[in-house]
Amino acid sequence: TSLLKPILKLMENPKAAVPNLLFQCQHGFEECEGNAYEACLQDVAPNHKDFFPVFDCVESRSCPEGKYPPDCVDTPANVMQGCLKEYGQHINTPELLKCYHGDRMRELLVINDIATLEAKPQWVPWFTLDGVPLVQDPNHENSTASFREQFLLGKRVCDAYVVKSGKEAPAGCANFPQSDDEVGADPWSKFPKNNFTAFIDELNLQRLQQAAANEALRDEQQSPWRFFKVKILAVVVLLCAVSGGSAYYCTSKKKQEREEALLASQNNA
């Protein structure tokens, strides 16, 4: 942190010359990309109820290093677009993109780097609750047992809620493991394996449909007959307006005549 904090101070000064920063992540560029998007997401939508559905969507669908569809969907950047469309209608997307492509993103990553170093993580993931590490003895001779303590995060959060609020724990707290015995020999088995085959097929279909619609629109715009269609329509509207009133009147009159003709044919039948 002794190196990063002076840099952060420079970044907070709009007139200061900030060194060119290069960020590297344990699992490659895509992980850095995801970290940047998620940092900006929390910055433009700091309310937990606003950002977390999008955040959770990105985390569950993104492909980490060594993982490929259909176990996941795509890179964090590509997944973010769909997650914003599904869960982030209230998110200011232009501001999010401005953050991601600007200096604010670099500032946020430095802030997160400092916070990570100050937490002194022993491994990843590493949880703290009110600033206190969830794992109290990470150097225990049985490192596996220490790591398993992290599966008691839900219980610890619920316990803290009861102490701070003076209320009973929410009903959902009973679903969390309450002891190491309840964690089980293979805690990962309780998490269902994702298979996004159907979801990916639907995305591909939507992309094909959108591409076809775009191509049809281009063909229409480039058609030599388009100019004549517009001219003919304008002439018809003009003649109608001259002979009987406004263009709106003419359009309404034609619609009324069609409806009256249809009604007459039904009565005759």
Residue 94 · residue 125 · CB < 8 Å: no
Band (pLDDT 50/70/90 cuts) for residue 268 is: low
CA nearest neighbour of 27 among 96, 61, 75: 75
In whole angstroms, give the CA distance from residue 45 to residue 242.
Answer: 55
The pLDDT value given to residue 238: 60
Q: Which H/E stretch holds residue 237?
A: helix 225-244
Q: Residues 70-99: what's their mean pLDDT?
A: 94
The pLDDT value given to residue 193: 82
The pLDDT value given to residue 240: 62
3-state secondary structure 8-59: HHHHCCCCCCCCCCCCCCCCCHHHHHHHHHHHHHHHHCCCHHHHHHHHHHHH
Q: Residues 119-141: what's their mean pLDDT?
A: 83
Is residue 47 pLDDT above 70, yes or no?
A: yes
Which residue type occupies 30?
E
Q: Residues 156-184: what's their mean pLDDT?
A: 93
Instruction: Encode pLDDT of 171-194 as tens digits.
Output: 999 999 999 888 888 888 877 788
Band (pLDDT 50/70/90 cuts) for residue 219 is: confident
The pLDDT value given to residue 226: 60
Q: How many CB atoms are located within 10 Å of the residue 52 CB?
A: 14
H helices of 62-174, in order, are: 76-87, 93-100, 103-119, 143-148, 153-165
User: What is the three-class DSSP state of 121?
Assistant: coil
The residue behind tokens 């993931």 is: 125
The pLDDT value given to residue 221: 74
Band (pLDDT 50/70/90 cuts) for residue 170 is: very high
Burial of 204 (0-12, 13-18, 19+ CB in 10 A): exposed
Is residue 34 pLDDT above 70, yes or no?
A: yes
Band (pLDDT 50/70/90 cuts) for residue 75 is: very high
Which residue type occupies 219?
D
